[in-house]
Amino acid sequence: MLAIKAVPNAPRTVVAGWLGDALKVRVHAPALEGRANEELCSFLAGQLGLPRRAVTLARGGTSRQKLIRIDGLALPAVKARLGAGPCPILPRL
């Protein structure tokens, strides 16, 4: 399972980095009728080189905090493909 912090209504869908163990993803689609969840899963499948059916939402359908189930790859391989690991949390200026 991969922990995600999703931010809907972004200008484009992009991986924004790691927040501890959670991957922050900005999603272009709005959080209406599951569109952002669908785009998130499709985007992650594309980034990981997996078929769309291999990436499913396990928990957090209406929350920004989500758990994504990824079939066919172990978590270390997923993290390696999406960026090495947690990025430092920088102070705001």
| pLDDT score for 47 | 92
Report the share of the chain in percent with pLDDT over 90. Answer: 70
Q: Looking at the domain assignment, is residue 13 inside a domain?
A: yes
What average pLDDT does range 17-27 have in this prediction?
A: 91
Residue 84: band (very low, low, confident or very high) from pLDDT cuts 50, 70, 90: low
Mean pLDDT estimate for the chain: 88
- Which residue range(s) make up the domain with 38? 2-82
Report if residue 58 sits inside a domain: yes
Overall domain count for the chain = 1
**d(C-alpha 74, C-alpha 62), whole Å:** 26
Q: Is 93 contained in some domain?
A: no
Which residue type, as a one-letter code, is found at position 34? G
Please identify which residue in the block is written with the tokens 């705001």.
92
Residue 87 resides in a domain: no
